Amino acid sequence: MPHPGPLRGQALGGEGGGDLALGPGGRGMRGVGSASGTAGEDSPNGEGGVVVDRLFRIGSSRLFILALRLVGLEFLVVGIVTAATDTAFGPWIPLYWFLLAIAALLGVLCAQLLRVMLLMEAKKG
């Protein structure tokens, strides 16, 4: 049976506001859960915390970070080679390769920050 959310007639905010309502103090979506492994109280299936934990575990894994680094470096090398030889693979000019490399390396930065956040949270509690 589907969870009755705010799009099915419930008002946003306050008690019983549904999945998309802002929590106390306007801190984002309720029902998403936390990184501590507990599911959110208003989660439609009671597994919101499990999904977030899986995403945190994948995003902070060393293999994921290593893969992003390698992909970023590959994009950077392809960008340098295509710029040096003045070639393009279809519409992919060297600028696109550099932008993809920057995006991958920003992903590495975010994953490292996630690892630091999880480490600090584990030490705190």
pLDDT, tens digit, for every residue of 86-95?
A: 998 888 899 9
pTM higher than the cut 0.85: no
What pLDDT sits at residue 46? 54
pLDDT-derived band at 49 (thresholds 50, 70, 90) equals confident
Q: What distance in Å separates the CA atoms of residue 65 and residue 111, rounded to the nearest whole number?
A: 7
Domain map (residue ranges) of the chain: 1-52, 60-125
- Give the per-residue pLDDT at 112: 92
Residue 6 pLDDT: 45
Q: Kindly tell me the sign of the dihedral angle through the C-alpha atoms of 99, 101, 104, 106.
A: negative
Dihedral Cα 80, 113, 54, 44, nearest 10 deg: -110
pLDDT at 66: 93
